[in-house]
Structure 1
Amino acid sequence: MSTTSGIQQWEVKEPYLNLHCGLGEGPYYEKATNSLRFVDIKNKRLHTVDLTKGPESVTTLQFDVPVTVTADIEGVDPREKILIGAKYGIAVLDRKTGKYEYIANFEATQHKERLRSNDGAVDPHGRFWLGTMTDFGLGDVLPEGSLHLFAGGKATQNVRHPVSIPNSVSWSLDGKTMYFTHSTARTLYSFDYSEADDALTNERVFYVHDGPGEPDGHRIDAEGNLWTAVYGESCVLKVSPQGKLVGKIKLPTKNVTCVEFVGSELFITTAGMAEGEGTPEEVDLSGGLYRIDVGIKGTAPFEYRLGA
């Protein structure tokens, strides 16, 4: 790490694991097995790598629909079952058979076949927040998506509409603030989050990215800083609890999608690039999983409560 103009700087030059994902996303540390799982949304896959054994241990599940994000379920061994975000809603995945079953769908909309899920996370109350956006192969991404909230196995609530590319949600260390990334607006928003009645109020701008890329997936560290991937700009940014840029990680490929803490290491997913979309090196290293020690630990994710 170096420091330039008061901003911490890191650089990672090679991938830890390069599966050439079409759209690597949703890295999630599975503490019970010391493994990292992440999805390839475009190729409809879930990858899992045992961090004790290393890159050669990776295993893959193939799906019939895009799987976009995962979470552990409270009281359930993740080696048996986990929660997944899929095209039509949230589902429980049997890790051994590879089969999944929807437990709640997005509310019916006229254009539901046009949409798929994207990023999301479990909140302090054990509920799941999950965005929708235009699916692949339908041309331009339109402002037709929403941010949904699932409680237990109940039907979804549509809490924010319209959005184009809804991305990560997270919570401050005291649980009183929720952050939400709207990528196409290049903006991270914050809200007052009530621990008493779960209410979401006082929407405001937390951070606006001034650059050619778009903020993508993010995580919160143990000091309350927000680490956000920037799609199209070869970097991850560290933003302070006050919304100020305080750090930057440089990567050797452009389409940086999401991050996840494992101890003080930050694992970083990326998306693939076609020939001609960048330098030969940028294309060759696209779609890989990267790792770098940033000297601070992250916050543990919340677990989904099926009966919440």
Structure 2
Amino acid sequence: MVMTSRHFTQPGGFTSGIEGPACDPDGFIYAVNYERQGTIGKISPQGDAEVWIELPEGSIGSGIRCDINGNLLVADYARHHIFHIDRRTKEISVWAHEPAMNQPNDLAIMKNGTLLASDPDWDHGTGNIWIIAPDRTVTLLDGECGTTNGIEISPDERILYVNESLQRRIWAYDLLADGGIANKRLLIQYDDHLLDGMRCDMEGNLYVTRYGKGTVAKLSPDGKELGEIMLKGNNGTNLTFGGADGRICYVTVADTGNIQRFDVDCPGRCWGMWC
């Protein structure tokens, strides 16, 4: 039997720019561009959605991550910021800014607050990987990439996964104790469709949105495809894990303009950060 997602929020509530879902410790889900561009929507565990915050004028969010305290880090691809948003007060501050970025797109986060950011140049089919240390220092890790998009860290924080959308490749790197990366190797390459956001579960399996195919692929830590989940729509953009036990996967889908969900056997790594 093929697993299929089901609608969680009403179709059409988000723009086609829906992206970057993240769950907080209380089970609320956040995603960008609810009702209009430049917003962040907040969705209750029951699926009720509202505009939670307006980003500063000219900013448009993409990837979101919650830190160990449940506060939001948001990639603003339009103005090249990484925002920090206090979940309680809604105070927005610039966490990092790097003029050399093409556009911060998606984020991965470590328990100590270190961020890793993908940075695609869509026009030229190239991209970068950046690291933002807890002291907010921004450092280029790899400037010789394809169109970097989805980015994630293994549960033991030893492996960095980065995909290249247009090249349809997922790479794995060793994450070093000093914040560097080494031993770049190809995890998997696809022949069709695109790659977008991706997240690990607590066993190290990688869930990857196959933009244009309408699926989420589940991969083992060594790159073997374990199965696919069918979405209602073709253009899944990103995903996160939540629910009381971390076993609900929430997926943002651009062409239906909503968040969909399906159940998984193992909790997601993002949920496991709080355990």
Identify the match of residue 254 of structure 1 among 230, 234, 237.
Answer: 234
Aligned to 1:300, what secondary structure does the other structure show?
helix
Aligned to 2:248: 265
When normalised by structure 2's length, the TM-score is 0.85
> Could you say if the C-alpha distance between residues 67 and 155 of structure 1 is closer, same or farther in structure 2, counting changes exceeding 3 Å?
same
Return the alpha-carbon distance in structure 1 between the equivalents of residues 9 and 136 of structure 2: 39
Aligned partners of 2:128 and 2:144 also within 8 Å: yes
Aligned to 1:276: none
Aligned to 2:3: 10
Return the alpha-carbon distance in structure 1 between the equivalents of residues 81 and 137 of structure 2: 10
1:205 aligns with 2:197: no
1:69 aligns with 2:59: no
> Could you say if the C-alpha distance between residues 105 and 172 of structure 1 is closer, same or farther in structure 2, counting changes exceeding 3 Å?
same
1:222 aligns with 2:222: no
1:45 aligns with 2:35: no
Aligned to 2:16, what secondary structure does the other structure show?
coil
For 2:73, give the aligned amino acid.
L
User: Displacement, 1:96?
Assistant: 6.2
User: Displacement, 1:46?
Assistant: 0.8
Identify the match of residue 116 of structure 1 among 94, 97, 103.
Answer: 103
> Could you say if the C-alpha distance between residues 57 and 88 of structure 1 is closer, same or farther in structure 2, counting changes exceeding 3 Å?
closer
Unaligned runs of 5+ in 2: none
Query: Normalized per residue, which structure has more strand?
Result: 2
Return the alpha-carbon distance in structure 2 between the equivalents of residues 207 and 217 of structure 1: 15
1:78-97 paired onto structure 2 within 5 Å: 78=70, 81-86=71-76, 87-95=79-87
Aligned partners of 1:105 and 1:155 also within 8 Å: no
Return the alpha-carbon distance in structure 2 between the equivalents of residues 298 and 154 of structure 1: 26
Aligned to 2:213, what secondary structure does the other structure show?
coil
1:187 aligns with 2:169: yes
Aligned to 2:48, what secondary structure does the other structure show?
helix
* Root-mean-square deviation over aligned CA pairs: 2.5
Return the alpha-carbon distance in structure 2 between the equivalents of residues 69 and 302 of structure 1: 19
Aligned to 1:6: none
Aligned to 1:223, what secondary structure does the other structure show?
coil
Aligned to 2:170, what secondary structure does the other structure show?
strand
User: Displacement, 1:132?
Assistant: 2.4
1:143-154 paired onto structure 2 within 5 Å: 143=125, 145-154=127-136
User: Displacement, 1:16?
Assistant: 3.5
Q: Which moved more, 1:96-105 or 1:259-268?
A: 96-105
For 2:222, give the aligned amino acid.
Q
1:239 aligns with 2:209: no
Return the alpha-carbon distance in structure 1 between the equivalents of residues 189 and 73 of structure 2: 31
Return the alpha-carbon distance in structure 2 between the equivalents of residues 205 and 215 of structure 1: 14
Deviations 1:119-172 (A, max 9, x none): 0111354211112235xxxxx633354221111243311112254532222222
Identify the match of residue 141 of structure 2 among 146, 153, 159.
Answer: 159
User: Displacement, 1:295?
Assistant: 2.6
Aligned partners of 1:16 and 1:288 also within 8 Å: yes
Aligned to 1:116, what secondary structure does the other structure show?
coil
Q: Which moved more, 1:93-102 or 1:287-296?
A: 93-102
Return the alpha-carbon distance in structure 2 between the equivalents of residues 172 and 94 of structure 1: 26
Return the alpha-carbon distance in structure 1 between the equivalents of residues 14 and 80 of structure 2: 26
Aligned partners of 1:175 and 1:193 also within 8 Å: yes
Aligned length: 264
| Identical pairs, percent | 22
When normalised by structure 1's length, the TM-score is 0.77
Return the alpha-carbon distance in structure 1 between the equivalents of residues 252 and 5 of structure 2: 13
Aligned to 1:133: 120
Return the alpha-carbon distance in structure 2 between the equivalents of residues 301 and 55 of structure 1: 18
For 2:152, give the aligned amino acid.
S
Return the alpha-carbon distance in structure 2 between the equivalents of residues 34 and 167 of structure 1: 26
For 1:228, give the aligned amino acid.
V
Identify the match of residue 289 of structure 1 among 252, 259, 265.
Answer: 259
